Amino acid sequence: MKLVILSTFISFIIIFIIGPYFIPFLQRLKFGQSIREEGPQSHMVKSGTPTMGGLMILFAIILTSLLFITNRTELFVALIATIGFGIIGFIDDFIKIILKRNLGLKAYQKLLLQFAIAIFIAVYAANHQNIGTVLAVPFTNMLLDMNFLYIPFTIIFIVGFVNAVNLTDGLDGLASGASFFSAVFFVIASLYNGYYELALFAGSLVGACLGFLRYNIYPAKVFMGDTGSLALGGALISLAVLTRMELFFFIVGGLFLVEAASVIIQVSYFKISKGKRIFRMTPIHHHYELKGWHEKKVVRVFWLIAFLLAIIGYIALIINI
């Protein structure tokens, strides 16, 4: 437990220290965020705010994890997932910001890269003697053997939740705060289940989220960009897969699930109804903004939801034991 606290502290301090130097560096490079005209008008004042701050998150997680890594391959895989998805986000941000192509990577390009990483993780887990094709079932002491369905289920789970975390990154501090609560859950779950190196990795994720919130909370001094949101998604899904707790993440990561579901529902209904909408704007956090909620209120309410879902996940974990 002391080492987990230390990994959290080190990761937090890394971002806390480099932030005042790295953010002006992004400003000098003119890595400013472009705000979509079709988005909430209140966001237009954020135009030009430095983005790609997710590089700080990646640096903190990688450096902290390497300080504690031994010969256990699970931590290497968690790092590969985090770095891999972070690189996809970096390429996307680079194209949008440097090459001035607003949409970044094309959808099929992004999905191909994401599926490649997801296949690697799923195949690794399925063939690992301590993971295999079984999943822990929340609120029970059962293990569900997915057999031949494990790999396709895990691939879809990974790609789906990584993009769900990405969609959640739309308000100052929202994605980093929600990821913080999920990461705390995985610290506890990893310790309970004996995944001590993964607990250290989860601790580095907790510290990185806290450190980044110092600069990302409203009004944000820096945005994480796709670099950060995809890296956070990669870190969280790797923890879920490598601890056999994918089903738990449907509870703990429920906020991400709702954000993604709101987009799917909106797009589907728009096509079926020939132009009608259910929500004023999606992801759903924008719906509440357009209803008159201040951005800070939306974030606080969504943080509370993420916190409560993490508590429910903890209860499901205790009963499972």
| DSSP H or E segment with residue 189 | helix 174-192
Q: What is 160-186 written as a DSSP string?
A: HHHHHHHHHTTSTTHHHHHHHHHHHHH
Q: For 145, list phi and psi in degrees, rounded to 5.
A: -90, 115
Say how far apart CA 127 and CA 210 lie, in whole Å: 34
Beta bridge partners of 50: 32
| 55 token code pair | 């590089």
- Please give the structure tokens belonging to residue 246: 């994918």
The identity of residue 225, as a single letter, is: G
172 has binding-site annotation: no
The structure tokens 């998150």 sit at 57
Distance of CA 260 to the CA centre of its chain: 12
Nearest to 97 by CA among 33, 45, 49, 38: 33
Q: How far apart are the first and last CA of the chain?
A: 19
In this structure, the number of other CB atoms found within 10 A of the CB of residue 73 comes to 12
| Distance set, CA 72 to CA 59, 128, 228, 239, 319 (Å) | 21, 12, 25, 14, 28
- The closest alpha carbon to 313, from 173, 176, 188, belongs to 188
166 has binding-site annotation: yes
What residues are designated binding site?
166, 226
What residues are designated binding site for Mg(2+)?
166, 226
